[in-house]
Amino acid sequence: MSKTIIYLIVGIAAIVTLSNTIFILDETNQAIVTQFGKPVGEPRTSPGLNFKTPFLQKVQYFDKRYLEWDGDQNQVPTKDKKFIFVDTYARWEITNPLQFFIRLRDERSAQSRLDDILDGETRNAVASHDLLDIVRSTNRNPEVTEDFMEEIEILEDISVGRAAVEKIILEKANERTADLGVRILDFRFKRMNYVDEVRDRVYDRMISERNRIADQFRSEGEGEARKIEGNKERDLAQIQSEAFREAELIKGKADAEAADIYAAAYNRNRQSVELYKFLRSLESFEKSLDENTSVIISSDSELFKYLKRAN
Protein backbone atom coordinates (compact mmCIF):
# COMPACT_ATOMS: atom_id res chain seq x y z
CA MET A 1 0.00 0.00 0.00
CA SER A 2 1.43 3.35 -1.00
CA LYS A 3 2.08 6.16 1.45
CA THR A 4 -0.44 8.37 -0.35
CA ILE A 5 -3.25 5.96 0.35
CA ILE A 6 -2.16 5.62 3.97
CA TYR A 7 -2.07 9.38 4.40
CA LEU A 8 -5.48 9.64 2.77
CA ILE A 9 -6.97 7.03 5.10
CA VAL A 10 -5.40 8.68 8.15
CA GLY A 11 -6.70 12.08 7.05
CA ILE A 12 -10.22 10.81 6.56
CA ALA A 13 -10.10 9.05 9.94
CA ALA A 14 -8.89 12.25 11.57
CA ILE A 15 -11.65 14.28 9.97
CA VAL A 16 -14.32 11.78 11.04
CA THR A 17 -12.91 11.65 14.54
CA LEU A 18 -12.74 15.41 14.76
CA SER A 19 -16.31 15.82 13.47
CA ASN A 20 -17.46 13.39 16.16
CA THR A 21 -15.50 15.26 18.80
CA ILE A 22 -16.56 18.85 18.08
CA PHE A 23 -20.11 20.20 17.95
CA ILE A 24 -21.25 23.82 17.63
CA LEU A 25 -24.05 25.18 19.78
CA ASP A 26 -25.92 28.23 18.42
CA GLU A 27 -27.89 30.87 20.33
CA THR A 28 -31.24 29.13 19.96
CA ASN A 29 -30.25 25.75 21.38
CA GLN A 30 -28.95 24.10 24.51
CA ALA A 31 -27.70 20.55 24.78
CA ILE A 32 -26.62 17.66 26.96
CA VAL A 33 -24.09 14.94 26.15
CA THR A 34 -25.14 11.31 26.66
CA GLN A 35 -23.12 8.15 26.76
CA PHE A 36 -24.96 4.89 26.23
CA GLY A 37 -28.24 6.79 26.71
CA LYS A 38 -27.27 8.39 30.03
CA PRO A 39 -26.41 12.07 30.47
CA VAL A 40 -22.77 12.92 31.07
CA GLY A 41 -21.54 16.16 32.61
CA GLU A 42 -23.32 19.47 32.90
CA PRO A 43 -25.77 20.87 30.34
CA ARG A 44 -24.22 22.94 27.55
CA THR A 45 -26.12 26.25 27.44
CA SER A 46 -23.55 28.74 26.12
CA PRO A 47 -23.27 29.16 22.34
CA GLY A 48 -19.96 28.26 20.77
CA LEU A 49 -17.62 25.33 20.22
CA ASN A 50 -18.03 22.24 22.44
CA PHE A 51 -16.31 18.85 22.69
CA LYS A 52 -17.34 15.28 23.43
CA THR A 53 -15.84 11.82 23.29
CA PRO A 54 -16.05 10.66 19.70
CA PHE A 55 -18.25 7.71 18.78
CA LEU A 56 -19.17 6.97 22.40
CA GLN A 57 -21.08 10.12 23.24
CA LYS A 58 -24.04 11.75 21.51
CA VAL A 59 -25.54 15.22 21.72
CA GLN A 60 -29.18 15.89 22.56
CA TYR A 61 -30.34 19.37 21.50
CA PHE A 62 -33.18 21.31 23.12
CA ASP A 63 -34.71 24.61 22.08
CA LYS A 64 -33.73 27.56 24.25
CA ARG A 65 -36.47 29.84 22.89
CA TYR A 66 -40.03 30.32 24.17
CA LEU A 67 -42.23 27.44 23.03
CA GLU A 68 -45.93 27.39 22.25
CA TRP A 69 -48.61 25.28 23.84
CA ASP A 70 -52.10 25.32 22.34
CA GLY A 71 -54.80 23.60 24.36
CA ASP A 72 -57.81 21.70 23.08
CA GLN A 73 -61.27 23.17 23.31
CA ASN A 74 -63.00 21.53 26.28
CA GLN A 75 -66.51 21.67 27.70
CA VAL A 76 -66.26 22.73 31.34
CA PRO A 77 -68.97 23.55 33.93
CA THR A 78 -68.56 26.71 36.00
CA LYS A 79 -69.27 27.04 39.70
CA ASP A 80 -72.75 28.45 38.93
CA LYS A 81 -73.52 25.39 36.75
CA LYS A 82 -73.16 27.00 33.34
CA PHE A 83 -71.50 24.85 30.69
CA ILE A 84 -68.98 26.61 28.46
CA PHE A 85 -66.35 25.69 25.89
CA VAL A 86 -62.90 26.88 26.95
CA ASP A 87 -59.96 27.24 24.55
CA THR A 88 -56.57 28.17 26.04
CA TYR A 89 -52.96 28.73 25.09
CA ALA A 90 -49.64 29.15 26.94
CA ARG A 91 -45.94 29.87 26.43
CA TRP A 92 -43.21 27.81 28.12
CA GLU A 93 -39.47 27.24 28.09
CA ILE A 94 -36.93 24.59 29.02
CA THR A 95 -35.04 25.90 32.03
CA ASN A 96 -33.04 22.77 32.95
CA PRO A 97 -32.20 20.61 29.91
CA LEU A 98 -30.69 17.84 32.08
CA GLN A 99 -33.79 17.50 34.23
CA PHE A 100 -35.95 17.87 31.13
CA PHE A 101 -34.13 15.00 29.43
CA ILE A 102 -34.35 12.75 32.50
CA ARG A 103 -38.08 13.34 33.06
CA LEU A 104 -39.49 14.00 29.60
CA ARG A 105 -36.81 13.05 27.04
CA ASP A 106 -38.14 15.33 24.23
CA GLU A 107 -40.54 18.17 23.38
CA ARG A 108 -43.27 15.83 22.17
CA SER A 109 -43.48 14.21 25.60
CA ALA A 110 -43.35 17.64 27.20
CA GLN A 111 -46.33 18.83 25.15
CA SER A 112 -48.30 15.77 26.19
CA ARG A 113 -47.43 16.34 29.86
CA LEU A 114 -48.42 20.01 29.60
CA ASP A 115 -51.75 18.94 28.12
CA ASP A 116 -52.50 16.96 31.25
CA ILE A 117 -51.30 19.66 33.65
CA LEU A 118 -52.78 22.80 32.02
CA ASP A 119 -56.08 21.22 30.95
CA GLY A 120 -56.52 19.80 34.44
CA GLU A 121 -55.77 23.07 36.19
CA THR A 122 -58.05 24.90 33.77
CA ARG A 123 -60.94 22.60 34.60
CA ASN A 124 -60.31 22.99 38.33
CA ALA A 125 -60.14 26.79 38.12
CA VAL A 126 -63.23 27.17 35.92
CA ALA A 127 -65.24 24.78 38.11
CA SER A 128 -64.23 26.81 41.19
CA HIS A 129 -65.43 30.20 39.90
CA ASP A 130 -68.62 31.71 38.55
CA LEU A 131 -68.99 32.52 34.88
CA LEU A 132 -68.68 36.28 35.47
CA ASP A 133 -65.26 35.75 37.07
CA ILE A 134 -64.15 33.85 33.97
CA VAL A 135 -65.27 36.40 31.35
CA ARG A 136 -64.66 39.71 33.17
CA SER A 137 -61.56 41.21 34.76
CA THR A 138 -62.89 44.40 36.41
CA ASN A 139 -66.01 45.81 38.03
CA ARG A 140 -67.47 48.59 35.91
CA ASN A 141 -70.83 49.89 34.80
CA PRO A 142 -71.75 49.75 31.10
CA GLU A 143 -71.37 53.03 29.25
CA VAL A 144 -74.75 54.47 28.24
CA THR A 145 -74.47 55.93 24.75
CA GLU A 146 -78.17 55.92 23.81
CA ASP A 147 -81.33 56.77 25.70
CA PHE A 148 -82.79 53.28 25.24
CA MET A 149 -79.81 51.78 27.11
CA GLU A 150 -80.70 53.55 30.36
CA GLU A 151 -82.92 50.62 31.38
CA ILE A 152 -80.07 48.08 31.17
CA GLU A 153 -79.40 46.49 34.53
CA ILE A 154 -76.17 47.31 36.34
CA LEU A 155 -73.64 44.49 35.96
CA GLU A 156 -73.04 42.27 38.96
CA ASP A 157 -69.73 42.71 40.77
CA ILE A 158 -67.05 40.06 40.38
CA SER A 159 -64.92 38.80 43.25
CA VAL A 160 -61.91 37.42 41.36
CA GLY A 161 -61.83 38.23 37.67
CA ARG A 162 -60.46 36.61 34.54
CA ALA A 163 -56.89 37.85 34.94
CA ALA A 164 -56.72 36.51 38.50
CA VAL A 165 -58.09 33.12 37.40
CA GLU A 166 -55.43 32.92 34.67
CA LYS A 167 -52.79 33.75 37.27
CA ILE A 168 -54.08 31.01 39.57
CA ILE A 169 -53.87 28.45 36.77
CA LEU A 170 -50.34 29.61 35.90
CA GLU A 171 -49.13 29.30 39.50
CA LYS A 172 -50.71 25.88 40.05
CA ALA A 173 -49.30 24.57 36.76
CA ASN A 174 -45.78 25.82 37.55
CA GLU A 175 -45.91 24.02 40.89
CA ARG A 176 -46.53 20.76 39.03
CA THR A 177 -43.83 21.38 36.41
CA ALA A 178 -41.09 22.43 38.85
CA ASP A 179 -39.39 19.00 38.70
CA LEU A 180 -39.73 18.67 34.92
CA GLY A 181 -37.09 21.22 33.99
CA VAL A 182 -39.63 23.53 32.33
CA ARG A 183 -41.32 26.77 33.31
CA ILE A 184 -44.65 28.07 32.04
CA LEU A 185 -44.22 31.73 31.20
CA ASP A 186 -47.76 32.79 30.42
CA PHE A 187 -51.25 31.33 30.31
CA ARG A 188 -54.33 32.86 28.69
CA PHE A 189 -57.93 32.05 27.82
CA LYS A 190 -58.03 32.26 24.05
CA ARG A 191 -61.76 31.83 23.54
CA MET A 192 -64.83 30.97 25.59
CA ASN A 193 -68.34 30.29 24.45
CA TYR A 194 -71.55 28.73 25.70
CA VAL A 195 -72.46 25.21 24.66
CA ASP A 196 -75.01 25.10 21.82
CA GLU A 197 -78.10 24.76 24.01
CA VAL A 198 -77.15 27.60 26.34
CA ARG A 199 -75.94 29.77 23.45
CA ASP A 200 -79.30 29.41 21.69
CA ARG A 201 -81.09 30.59 24.84
CA VAL A 202 -78.73 33.54 25.15
CA TYR A 203 -79.31 34.47 21.51
CA ASP A 204 -83.09 34.24 22.00
CA ARG A 205 -82.85 36.55 25.01
CA MET A 206 -80.70 39.01 23.06
CA ILE A 207 -83.16 38.94 20.15
CA SER A 208 -86.07 39.51 22.54
CA GLU A 209 -84.27 42.47 24.11
CA ARG A 210 -83.50 44.00 20.72
CA ASN A 211 -87.12 43.49 19.63
CA ARG A 212 -88.28 45.27 22.78
CA ILE A 213 -85.99 48.19 22.00
CA ALA A 214 -87.21 48.21 18.38
CA ASP A 215 -90.85 48.25 19.54
CA GLN A 216 -90.02 51.14 21.85
CA PHE A 217 -88.47 53.05 18.95
CA ARG A 218 -91.49 52.33 16.75
CA SER A 219 -93.92 53.42 19.48
CA GLU A 220 -92.01 56.65 20.06
CA GLY A 221 -91.82 57.22 16.30
CA GLU A 222 -95.56 56.71 15.85
CA GLY A 223 -96.27 59.10 18.71
CA GLU A 224 -93.96 61.70 17.20
CA ALA A 225 -95.58 61.17 13.78
CA ARG A 226 -99.07 61.76 15.22
CA LYS A 227 -97.80 64.87 16.99
CA ILE A 228 -96.32 66.21 13.76
CA GLU A 229 -99.52 65.36 11.85
CA GLY A 230 -101.63 67.20 14.44
CA ASN A 231 -99.38 70.26 14.30
CA LYS A 232 -99.59 70.18 10.50
CA GLU A 233 -103.40 70.07 10.50
CA ARG A 234 -103.55 72.90 13.02
CA ASP A 235 -101.09 75.04 11.09
CA LEU A 236 -102.91 74.30 7.81
CA ALA A 237 -106.29 75.31 9.27
CA GLN A 238 -104.77 78.49 10.68
CA ILE A 239 -103.12 79.36 7.37
CA GLN A 240 -106.36 78.71 5.43
CA SER A 241 -108.39 80.78 7.90
CA GLU A 242 -106.00 83.72 7.67
CA ALA A 243 -105.88 83.41 3.88
CA PHE A 244 -109.70 83.37 3.64
CA ARG A 245 -109.96 86.40 5.91
CA GLU A 246 -107.33 88.25 3.88
CA ALA A 247 -109.12 87.33 0.63
CA GLU A 248 -112.46 88.57 1.93
CA LEU A 249 -110.87 91.84 3.04
CA ILE A 250 -109.28 92.31 -0.37
CA LYS A 251 -112.55 91.41 -2.13
CA GLY A 252 -114.61 93.80 0.01
CA LYS A 253 -112.12 96.57 -0.54
CA ALA A 254 -112.18 95.92 -4.29
CA ASP A 255 -116.02 95.92 -4.38
CA ALA A 256 -116.08 99.23 -2.49
CA GLU A 257 -113.59 100.79 -4.88
CA ALA A 258 -115.55 99.45 -7.88
CA ALA A 259 -118.79 100.90 -6.49
CA ASP A 260 -117.12 104.24 -5.95
CA ILE A 261 -115.77 104.25 -9.49
CA TYR A 262 -119.13 103.25 -10.93
CA ALA A 263 -121.01 105.93 -8.95
CA ALA A 264 -118.54 108.62 -9.95
CA ALA A 265 -118.77 107.59 -13.60
CA TYR A 266 -122.54 107.50 -13.48
CA ASN A 267 -122.85 110.98 -11.96
CA ARG A 268 -120.36 112.43 -14.41
CA ASN A 269 -122.07 111.04 -17.57
CA ARG A 270 -125.80 111.26 -16.69
CA GLN A 271 -126.58 113.72 -19.53
CA SER A 272 -124.75 111.57 -22.00
CA VAL A 273 -126.79 108.62 -20.86
CA GLU A 274 -130.09 110.50 -21.39
CA LEU A 275 -129.03 111.52 -24.89
CA TYR A 276 -128.08 107.95 -25.67
CA LYS A 277 -131.47 106.71 -24.51
CA PHE A 278 -133.23 109.33 -26.60
CA LEU A 279 -131.28 108.45 -29.74
CA ARG A 280 -131.90 104.78 -29.27
CA SER A 281 -135.63 105.44 -28.86
CA LEU A 282 -135.71 107.47 -32.05
CA GLU A 283 -133.83 104.76 -33.88
CA SER A 284 -136.33 102.19 -32.72
CA PHE A 285 -139.25 104.42 -33.80
CA GLU A 286 -137.70 104.87 -37.23
CA LYS A 287 -137.42 101.17 -37.77
CA SER A 288 -140.81 100.22 -36.35
CA LEU A 289 -143.12 103.02 -37.72
CA ASP A 290 -144.09 103.97 -41.29
CA GLU A 291 -146.84 106.04 -42.99
CA ASN A 292 -149.49 103.39 -42.59
CA THR A 293 -148.82 102.67 -38.95
CA SER A 294 -151.21 103.73 -36.23
CA VAL A 295 -149.91 103.84 -32.73
CA ILE A 296 -151.83 103.96 -29.50
CA ILE A 297 -149.59 105.28 -26.79
CA SER A 298 -150.26 105.37 -23.11
CA SER A 299 -149.48 108.56 -21.33
CA ASP A 300 -147.14 106.66 -19.04
CA SER A 301 -144.85 105.35 -21.80
CA GLU A 302 -141.42 106.77 -22.48
CA LEU A 303 -142.32 107.36 -26.13
CA PHE A 304 -145.25 109.58 -25.19
CA LYS A 305 -142.92 111.59 -22.97
CA TYR A 306 -140.50 112.19 -25.83
CA LEU A 307 -143.27 113.14 -28.25
CA LYS A 308 -144.89 115.41 -25.76
CA ARG A 309 -141.57 117.03 -24.99
CA ALA A 310 -140.91 117.51 -28.72
CA ASN A 311 -144.23 119.46 -29.19
Q: pLDDT per residue over 206-259, tens digit each?
A: 888 888 888 888 888 888 888 898 888 888 888 888 888 888 888 888 888 877
Confidence at residue 261, expressed as pLDDT on a 0 to 100 scale: 77
Confidence at residue 310, expressed as pLDDT on a 0 to 100 scale: 57
Q: Does residue 63 carry a pLDDT above 90?
A: yes
State pLDDT tens for residues 278-297: 666 667 766 666 667 776 76
Confidence at residue 253, expressed as pLDDT on a 0 to 100 scale: 87
Check if the beta carbon of residue 60 is closer than 8 Å to that of residue 66. no
Confidence at residue 181, expressed as pLDDT on a 0 to 100 scale: 93
Cα–Cα distances in angstroms (integers) from residue 140 to residues 155, 158, 213, 217, 249, in the given order: 7, 10, 23, 27, 70
Confidence at residue 158, expressed as pLDDT on a 0 to 100 scale: 81
Confidence at residue 266, expressed as pLDDT on a 0 to 100 scale: 62
Least confident of 40-49, 57-66, 142-151, 276-285: 142-151
State pLDDT tens for residues 171-206: 999 999 989 999 999 999 998 887 777 677 777 878
Nearest residue to 186 (alpha-carbon basis) of 118, 134, 103, 123: 118
Long-range contacts of 197-204 (CB under 8 A, 24+ apart): 198/82, 198/83, 198/84
Task: Tell me the pLDDT of the chain averaged across its residues.
Answer: 82
Confidence at residue 104, expressed as pLDDT on a 0 to 100 scale: 92
Confidence at residue 142, expressed as pLDDT on a 0 to 100 scale: 62
Q: Beta strands 38-44 and 29-35: pairing type?
A: antiparallel
* Superfamily, domain 67-194: Band 7 domain (3.30.479.30)
Which residues make up the CATH 3.30.479.30 domain(s) of the chain?
67-194
Confidence at residue 14, expressed as pLDDT on a 0 to 100 scale: 66
Q: Does residue 1 carry a pLDDT above 70?
A: no
Top-confidence range, 1-10, 11-20, 78-87, 166-175? 166-175
For the chain, what percent of residues have pLDDT higher than 70?
76
Contacts of 112 (CB under 8 A, 6+ apart): none
Within a 10 A sphere around the Cβ of 182, how many other Cβ atoms? 25
State pLDDT tens for residues 216-229: 888 888 888 888 98
Residue that wins the pLDDT comparison between 148 and 275 = 275
Q: Does residue 80 carry a pLDDT above 70?
A: yes
Confidence at residue 127, expressed as pLDDT on a 0 to 100 scale: 92
Return d(Cα 149, Cα 130) in angstroms, integer. Answer: 26
State the pTM of this model.
Answer: 0.60
Residue that wins the pLDDT comparison between 21 and 18 = 21
